[in-house]
A and B are shown apart, each in its own frame.
Chain A
Amino acid sequence: MTDLDPVIHAPARLMIMTTLDEALGDRDEVTFPGLQKLLGMTAGNLTTHLAKLEAAGYVETTKAFVGRKPTTYVALTPEGRGAFRRYRKHLLQLLGGNS
């Protein structure tokens, strides 16, 4: 288990990565409130975990204006998707199951 990616191997961050992988195609972005709704997390908790994932280069956040309203968009980077798929494969190999 020690070889599993420690950035992803935390329940909250695994939930975020799973959701982003499921909800977003390549070059897609979701708004911060939209992601929060999908995860059912508090804004503070989500911000903290997104910062860790962003520091690892797994997600990217972009600030933009929708009309006059500032909005934060979250995207899964190609490195992030690759890391998540490797993590999932590795975990399944260790447990001998599938998801």
Chain B
Amino acid sequence: MVALMREQRRATRAQLDRRFTILLVVWALAWCVGFFALWSAENVGGNPAFRIPEQVAWPLFGGLMLAGIVWSIMTGVLAGRDFRGSSQLAGMLYGWSWSVAMTGAGLFTFGLQRAGLTGEMSALLYPGLFIILVGTLYLTGAALERSPGMFALGIVMIATVVVATWVGSPTHYLLYATVGPSALATVAVLQARGILPTVSEELA
């Protein structure tokens, strides 16, 4: 009976997390390809092996981020389909907190640009600001879901921004293309295998 309970808990968690595991993989790919394209872009990049035109790199990066956002929205909508109650409300508010935070950050950077922010500074500020927000929202999501794995992911995201910004442009694009996706993929694999530590209410 203990084995049955353990297996059922694991199977339930895996089913509930499956869409979010796929979402992590989608974002890992989007980050990896998107930031690698920026690192390989003419003028703004630093790839010593080859370069691609900026007119290709920026739309590719933007398109991948947009695809990730659309996938995230669909994941949130589909995950809540069979449920109703207080958790669904919490999930909906958490989903909206992403939209509000990202829109606010976008308008904030727009304002900075109008005030005369230089190109070199914006190359560091834009990804840094958005990824700091992603990290912070992961920390909040971790508190909501009682998920230490998600909390660790939030810490890695914020630490990556700090290190990448200190390293400077254009190498920061390479760090965003490698460290972020690696962390996302690691959490996805651990989640898929059901070996990610979770805080059991009984143990809490």
Partner-B contacts on A (CB < 8 A):
9, 11, 14-15, 18-19, 22-31, 33-35, 37-38, 73, 75, 85, 88-89, 91-92, 95, 97, 99
Contact = CB atoms under 8 A, between A and B. Distances in A.
Contact of B4 (A15, A26, A33, A73): A15
A29 B85 contact: yes
A23 B86 contact: no
Which 3 A-B residue pairings sit nearest by Cβ, starting from the closest? A34-B82, A28-B85, A18-B8
- B interface, over-half SS: helix
A91 B9 contact: no
- A interface, over-half SS: helix
B202 A85 contact: yes
Contacts of B6: 99
Given A9-B1, A33-B82, A34-B83, A23 B16 contact: yes
Interface residues of B, number: 22
B85 A38 contact: no
B82 A11 contact: no
Contacts of A24: 83, 85, 87
B12 A19 contact: yes
A73 B84 contact: yes
A83 to B, nearest CB: 14
Given A88-B202, A95-B2, A97-B2, A27 B9 contact: no
B2 A91 contact: yes
A35 B103 CA distance: 36
A18 B86 contact: no
A31 B83 CA distance: 6
Given A28-B87, A30-B83, A33-B82, A99 B2 contact: yes
Nearest to B16: A23
